[in-house]
Each structure stands twice: as C-alpha cells, then as structure tokens.
Structure 1
Amino acid sequence: MTLERLTATFRLDRSRSAASQVYDHLREMIVTLALEPGTSLSRTQVAEALELSPMPVRDALSRLEKEGLVEIFPQHLTRVCAIDLDSARQAHVLRLSVELEIVHGLANAGDPATARLLQAAVIKQRACLEADDLGGFILFDQEFHKTMYEAAQLMTIWHMIRGASGNLDRLRRLHVPLNGKAQAVLEEHTGIAQAIAAGDAAGAQAWLRRHLSGTLTELDSLRARYPDFILPMADFTGRAGG
C-alpha cells in the first residue's frame, strides 16, 4: 500500500467522529479502486499515516468488513477483498426494485423542478465526459440518482442502498470506461429525465430498466480484463448491473 496515496486527500474534521471519517475515506478509495483488490492494509500503518490512534481505524475497518469490502486477519493484516458478484447482484435487485417505483411516482407527480435537476446532472456528466474526467462523471451519475431519491423523500433508503452497493459500484467503475458505456449512461439518464418531465411513467421505467441492465451483462469481458479483481462464481446466472 502506498501511504502517500492514502493520506493525500484525508483531512480530519475535529467536529466529526474520526472513525466515521476514516471509514468514509477508506471506503471511497476502495470503491473507486484507488485501493485495488488484494491491497494489504496494516491498521498500525494506516493509523500512523493518518495521525490517529488505532481505535478509529479498527472501527472503520470493522464496518468495511461487514460490507464485504475488506477481510481482516486477526493479529496480522487487513486485505481489500475481490469483488463479490453475489453482493453486487443483490444490491442491483434492491436498487432496481426501489428506483422503478421512484421514477413511476415522479412521472405521475409531474414536478418540473425535479426534471430540471435531473437534466442539470446530465449536463454536468456530459461536461465531465468531454473533459475525460471519469471521477467527476461517476460523481454526477450518483447525483442524478440521489436527486430522484430526494424528490421521492426516500433518503434513508438511498443511504441504505449506497451502503450495500460497494461491490456493484466497483464493477461499474471497471465498466464505465469501456465499450461506450459512459455515452450510453448519458443517453439513458436523458431518457429517464425526459420521460419524467413528460409524465410518462411507463417510459421512465423502460429507460430505467435499460439503464440498470448493463454492467453484469459484460461480466465475461470484465473477468477477462480484470481476472484478479473479481471473485470466481461458477453458479452466477444474474444478468443485471447499472
């Protein structure tokens, strides 16, 4: 592990729990693949690098272990896990079920302000794509979906789904740069926003189903390209994604 990479963007906010901040920081690095599967994390070294006591680091790593993002070996080290396809599939099913209901409700509600916010997120995404800013593109992808949850007043569910989606998000991070995926995301987001603006609930759901059908359909090519990143799962039959 490169400690310089770990500490480069970490700034402790004394008004917040240190453990929560370490968790957020490490989780972001894992989900964005800045910490790749197989990376070793020494609790002592992480604590020293972040200039913290070991306790908040231990608590943060424990939370990440519960999410299936790291594996802790007592008295030894912690290792970033490979991507768990079953976890990704279950997060997808949860997300699809909820968001189909959300877009249906938003389209029937006919709130033009929500449609404008969604379209604004698409514009930001397009600018990031043109600037070759993958991180920004994914950030505004999340903004697009978060806007839907906010409009539906379902932010508790948003946070629950985000907490369960670490493995799915890592798969999507691998997929977005490939095979025109980013351009497809823009088209699908535009379709969802336009259908909501037009009050077309069925159309919004159709665009959403198309949008959430991409990543795991490319699983074979992702495995071939990143064989060390994805856990083998011979019985996997899901065809889903985002």
Structure 2
Amino acid sequence: MNESNFNLQSQAYKQIIGKILRNEYIPGQKISQKSIEKDLQLGRTPVREALLRLRRDGLIYTIPQSGTFVTKIDLDAAINARFIRENLERKIVYEAANTEDNLLLSQARDAIALQEKYAANGEYNKFFEADEEFHKTFYLTTNHAQVWDWLQTVNTQFNRFRWLRLAISELPWNTLIEQHKEILDAVENHEPERADAAVARHLHLMFEEEMTVLTSFPEYFDNLPE
C-alpha cells in the first residue's frame, strides 16, 4: 500500500470511528459502504479497508444476507475501560502534582475555559473534545503521551458511554467542570493525594450516573444489568 492510499484509509477510519463515537452512526444502525463513501466523499478502497479494520475492532459486524451494522455499546467493556483509565490516571495526576515544571498545565486551564463556553452554548461535541484535551494534558506533563495514545485503543466503549452522558440534559455539565477545576488546583498546588482523590471521584461518576444513561438509551447497549 502506498503512502497516499494509507493516508486515505487512516482518514476514513478516523472519520467513521468519530461518527460512531458521536452517535452519528447510532448503536445497532445498519450502514452500507456506498452510503459511507458518499457521506465521507471518499473512494471505495479506503472505505472498504477502514470497515475491515472497524470490524476487527468490534465496532461493526456483518450478518450474511442482512447487511453491516454498528455494534451496540458493550457495557462490560466500558466499565472495564473505566477501571483501567481510573487506575492509570490516578498515578498520572499524582506524578503531575509532584512535577515542578508545569508549563503545560496552561493547556488544562484553557480546556476548562472552553468547556465553560461550550456548556453555555450546549455544544456537547466540542465540550467532549475539550474534556479530552484537559485529561491529555496530564499525560503530556508527565511524558506519558504514549500511554494516552494506548488508552484511546481500549477506551472506545467507555467514550461512547461518556458521549451519551453529555447528550442527557438533566445530567449537569458543570459537575464535570468543577471536578476538573479541583483536579487542576490540586496538581498546580502540588497536592498529590488530593489530586489522586479528585480523579477517582471524577472517573467514578460513570457508576453514579449509569442508570440514568441506561434508562434513557436502553436500545444502545449490550450486557445490560437484569
């Protein structure tokens, strides 16, 4: 595969997975290669290769004589991904709070400011992106960018859950913002134990809000509790 084809395949993959994450392609929806080609304005080969990769990732599946479908959100996988991220990120922020050179933390402050702006405007897609930038800052601060990149490969189901959480108006966005402020304040003031506890509370929020999300979108999930 030449570099041009590889770049087009990567572009197709990123765009499709982004649409799955943002529920533009909703869990359980039937999709077709032709409709995606038209949607993305890309050719058959890069889209086909991207779909093969997404099938390997478990984000789409094919039923013979029926078609290709977006997988539902695997709740067990989302819970396990949250467990991995919580335990890693607690160590990351603990390390960040013990780091003297915190020049990169200005990016975390900027991300919070953007979240406040997007919350006021109801722009949950941009709010989510700013949320990701906030958390990524601590991995960059501690020279663990590769860990962040690795997390993205296991975080897909958890992130799909998080996206739905933002779509539910009765779950306050300000809770997330205030928790971010607490984490950043603890890191900037070199209080690792407080930073650790703040991250644990923040990432444990999934359990506290789980039933609200599941009740609102039961058709989007596999492995629902009985």
Structure 1 length normalisation: TM-score?
Answer: 0.84
Q: Which of the numbers 208, 216, 226 marks the counterpart of 2:199?
A: 208
Equivalent pair of 2:76/2:223 in contact (CA under 8 Å): no
Q: Which of the numbers 51, 66, 83 marks the counterpart of 2:56?
A: 66
**Residue type of the partner of 1:84?**
D
Structure 1 residues 58-67 or 206-215, which shifts more?
A: 58-67
Taking a change above 3 Å as real, the CA distance of residues 134 and 234 of structure 1, as seen in their structure-2 partners, is closer
Structure 2 counterparts to residues 213-224 of structure 1, below 5 A: 213-224=204-215
Structure 1 CA distance for aligned equivalents of residues 34 and 5 of structure 2: 24
What is the aligned-residue RMSD (CA, Å)? 2.1
Equivalent pair of 1:115/1:194 in contact (CA under 8 Å): no
Q: Which of the numbers 113, 124, 139 marks the counterpart of 2:114?
A: 124
Structure 2 counterparts to residues 20-39 of structure 1, below 5 A: 20-39=10-29
Write 1 or 2 for the structure with the bigger share of helix: 2
Aligned to 1:228, the other structure's residue is in SS state helix
Aligned to 1:162, the other structure's residue is in SS state helix
CA deviation vs aligned residue, 1:38-68 (integer Å, no higher than 9, x gap): 2111123423554544332222112222332
Aligned to 1:62, the other structure's residue is in SS state helix
Taking a change above 3 Å as real, the CA distance of residues 144 and 62 of structure 1, as seen in their structure-2 partners, is same
**Residue type of the partner of 2:188?**
A
CA deviation vs aligned residue, 1:219-238 (integer Å, no higher than 9, x gap): 22222211211113347xxx
Identity in percent: 27
Match in the other structure for 1:18:
8
Alpha-carbon deviation of 1:180? Answer: 3.8
**Residue type of the partner of 1:71?**
Y
Structure 2 counterparts to residues 218-233 of structure 1, below 5 A: 218-233=209-224
Structure 2 CA distance for aligned equivalents of residues 23 and 75 of structure 1: 24
Taking a change above 3 Å as real, the CA distance of residues 179 and 213 of structure 1, as seen in their structure-2 partners, is farther
Match in the other structure for 1:55:
45
Structure 1 CA distance for aligned equivalents of residues 63 and 140 of structure 2: 39
Q: Which of the numbers 99, 102, 118 marks the counterpart of 2:89?
A: 99
Structure 1 residues 177-186 or 122-131, which shifts more?
A: 177-186
Structure 2 counterparts to residues 72-111 of structure 1, below 5 A: 72-73=62-63, 77-111=67-101
**Residue type of the partner of 1:56?**
P
**Residue type of the partner of 1:185?**
L
CA deviation vs aligned residue, 1:96-147 (integer Å, no higher than 9, x gap): 1211111011101133423332122111111111122111111100010111
Structure 2 CA distance for aligned equivalents of residues 105 and 52 of structure 1: 43
Equivalent pair of 2:104/2:140 in contact (CA under 8 Å): no
Structure 2's unaligned 5+ residue stretches are none
Match in the other structure for 2:180:
189
Structure 1 CA distance for aligned equivalents of residues 223 and 80 of structure 2: 16
**Residue type of the partner of 2:17?**
R
Structure 2 CA distance for aligned equivalents of residues 233 and 78 of structure 1: 23
Structure 1's unaligned 5+ residue stretches are 1-13, 236-242
Aligned to 1:113, the other structure's residue is in SS state coil
Number of equivalent positions: 223
Taking a change above 3 Å as real, the CA distance of residues 37 and 225 of structure 1, as seen in their structure-2 partners, is same
Q: Which of the numbers 138, 143, 157 marks the counterpart of 1:153?
A: 143
Structure 1 CA distance for aligned equivalents of residues 39 and 180 of structure 2: 40
Structure 2 CA distance for aligned equivalents of residues 24 and 74 of structure 1: 26
Structure 1 CA distance for aligned equivalents of residues 40 and 163 of structure 2: 26
Taking a change above 3 Å as real, the CA distance of residues 110 and 15 of structure 1, as seen in their structure-2 partners, is farther
